[in-house]
Chain A
Amino acid sequence: EAAVTQSPRNKVTVTGGNVTLSCRQTNSHNYMYWYRQDTGHGLRLIHYSYGAGNLQIGDVPDGYKATRTTQEDFFLLLELASPSQTSLYFCASSDLDRSSYEQYFGPGTRLTVL
């Protein structure tokens, strides 16, 4: 079973603050994803990547940057946080090269922007 970890688990910042959310997966998956989950909107894809150095834009990318430094590590950056970015953020990974579409999710990071 895939292991996906996220840090921090909770974060409070102020408007205009700089936040980095971290995600690590240890099962050598190629694909990694960042989602935000909000009531009434489900899971919305922010950015994803299919390998180190690669970045693909998701459905709600505005205000977010992401970087995939290694196969294991995927970071989400909020350089000027706004209250609208208060949300629960999930990271996920999958290995589509093995004909498996299943995404494995991390425990989530709850971000509050005051």
Chain B
Amino acid sequence: QQQVRQSPQSLTVWEGETAILNCSYEDSTFDYFPWYRLFPGESPALLIAIRPVSNKKEDGRFTIFFNKREKKLSLHITDSQPGDSATYFCAASAGFASALTFGSGTKVIVLP
């Protein structure tokens, strides 16, 4: 049973457009939702994260929108740049000392 689901599997946008990545989860005890970014040949790295006390978190061109009632969240990449081309993973954990459960990832391609 996949507890964290991501869609779409891949996404192609033009430079300057907004890329929208979706994530949903099953476990209502999840209370921490980070997004990790993986460039080819590199290591996953934390991009941005949110906790359910907020329904929005912004960091530059990256924004998480969170809907606790529907158990859904999305990552918006505004003014997409070719350098944003990467695979983005949504993840979730429940409680302070719990391991992360990752989604299957969304591969984003930004065309110049």
Cβ–Cβ contact B100 & A103, under 8 A: yes
Cβ–Cβ contact A105 & B99, under 8 A: no
Instruction: Kindly provide the distance from the CB of A7 to the nearest chain B CB, expressed in whole angstroms.
Output: 14
Cβ–Cβ contact B44 & A90, under 8 A: yes
List 18 extra interface pairs beyond A44-B102, A101-B93, CB under 8 A. Answer: A33-B99, A40-B9, A42-B102, A42-B104, A43-B44, A43-B102, A45-B100, A45-B102, A58-B99, A96-B97, A101-B32, A101-B34, A102-B46, A102-B49, A103-B46, A105-B44, A107-B42, A108-B43
For chain A, the bracket of interface size reads: 20 to 34
A-B residue pairs in contact (CB < 8 Å), sample of 9: A42-B6, A42-B102, A43-B36, A43-B89, A44-B102, A45-B102, A50-B97, A102-B49, A103-B36
Inter-chain contact total with CB atoms closer than 8 Å: 52
Q: Which of A45, A101, A105 contacts B101 (CB 8 A)?
A: A45
CA distance A45 to B90 in the complex (A): 14
For chain B, the bracket of interface size reads: 20 to 34
CA distance A103 to B100 in the complex (A): 9
Q: Which residue of A lies closest to B96 (CB)?
A: A96
Give A residues with C-beta under 8 Å from B: 4, 31, 33, 35, 40-45, 48, 50, 56, 58-59, 90, 92, 96, 99, 101-103, 105-108
Q: Give chain A residues whose Cβ lies under 8 Å from the Cβ of B104.
A: 40-42
